[in-house]
């Protein structure tokens, strides 16, 4: 493992390399919090990861490990960026460290010729319906505060209109290792690989914030 940079407290830094590492390390092995306010990974001029929520960065660290990590107290001090090191690809790693102490950012890889992980945030406006389909991405996370209802289509074509609590129970049934309590870092986690599609209706109160993840390592 090599240290890419030690980012000072309350600093945003862009780390540039001519390769994308397989794994990005943040802080020490014992840390269970990446301690970042924002993270952006750009490979070969294309943005692959762009997150501005600390909770989303924690969730991505766990998901990128290829596991739902039922015990969410396990260390999440590293993020898998690709299925192997991506050589000859100019890479910008932007980290926003809001903490009162510096954080060491390191990297290592187990192999080469990797496929990058992709993650991003987006919002759906109030009183709006949005359809998400199998094959678009692997995971969808959202804060259920403004969730109204959803229509879920199973892989066999059967559909059901469900509440958020019913949706959690469905995920518990369909996804091995789904986190206890059916929440993931305070958000609802959907494994899009076990359903055909889901149509989510946002209530009239306010918008809903989402994170989607496409991972080269999926259980």
Tens-digit pLDDT profile for residues 199-211: 999 999 999 999 9
* Maximal C-alpha separation, the chain: 53
CA-to-CA distance for 123 and 156, rounded, in angstroms?
Answer: 29
Give how far Cα 65 sits from Cα of 58, 61, 69, 189, 198, Å.
11, 7, 8, 15, 25
Q: Are 75 and 32 in contact (CB under 8 A)?
A: yes
End position of a domain, from candidates 64, 84, 116 = 116
Residue 185: pLDDT over 90: no
Q: Are 3 and 28 in contact (CB under 8 A)?
A: no
Backbone angles phi, psi at 102, to 5 degrees: -70, 160
The gap between the terminal CA atoms of the chain, to the nearest Å, is 26
pLDDT score for 218: 57
Backbone angles phi, psi at 153, to 5 degrees: -110, 125
33 and 109 part of one domain:
yes
- Mean pLDDT on 157-180: 86
pLDDT score for 61: 84
Q: Are 56 and 141 in contact (CB under 8 A)?
A: yes
Structural domain count, the chain:
2
Residue 184 belongs to some domain of the structure: yes
Joined together, the tokens standing for residue 15 give: 């780390």
Q: Smallest Cα–Cα separation from 129: which of 192, 202, 190, 197?
A: 202
Residue 201, CB-side half-sphere exposure with 13 Å CA sphere? 11
CA-to-CA distance for 49 and 188, rounded, in angstroms?
Answer: 20
pLDDT score for 81: 93
Find the domain containing 140 and state its range.
120-214
Q: Smallest Cα–Cα separation from 79: which of 103, 52, 101, 49?
A: 49
Joined together, the tokens standing for residue 178 give: 């789904």
End position of a domain, from candidates 116, 148, 180 = 116
CATH code where residue 155 lies:
2.60.120
99 and 127 part of one domain:
no
The structure's pTM equals: 0.89
CA-to-CA distance for 214 and 117, rounded, in angstroms?
Answer: 6
Q: How confident is the model at residue 23 (pLDDT cuts 50, 70, 90)?
A: very high
47 and 106 part of one domain:
yes
pLDDT score for 71: 46
């Amino acid at each position: 493992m090599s240290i890419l940079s030690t980012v000072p407290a309350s600093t945003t830094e862009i780390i540039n390399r001519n390769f994308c590492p397989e794994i990005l390390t943040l802080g020490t092995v014992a840390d269970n919090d990446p301690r970042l306010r924002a993270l952006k990974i750009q490979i070969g001029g294309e943005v692959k990861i762009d997150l501005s929520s600390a909770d989303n960065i924690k969730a991505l660290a766990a998901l990128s490990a290829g596991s739902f990590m039922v015990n969410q107290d396990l260390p999440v001090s590293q993020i898998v960026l690709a299925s192997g090191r991506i050589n000859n690809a100019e890479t910008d790693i932007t980290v926003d460290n809001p903490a009162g102490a510096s954080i060491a950012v390191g990297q290592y890889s187990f192999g080469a010729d990797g496929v990058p992980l992709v993650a991003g945030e987006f919002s759906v406006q109030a009183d709006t319906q949005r359809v998400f389909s199998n094959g678009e991405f692997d995971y969808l996370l959202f804060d259920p505060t403004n969730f109204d209802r959803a229509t879920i289509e199973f892989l066999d074509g059967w559909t059901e209109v469900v509440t958020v609590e019913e949706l959690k129970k469905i995920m518990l049934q369909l996804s091995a290792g789904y986190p206890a309590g059916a929440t993931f870092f305070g958000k609802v986690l959907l494994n899009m690989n076990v359903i055909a599609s889901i149509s989510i209706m946002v209530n009239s109160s306010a918008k809903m914030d989402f994170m989607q993840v496409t991972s080269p390592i999926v259980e």
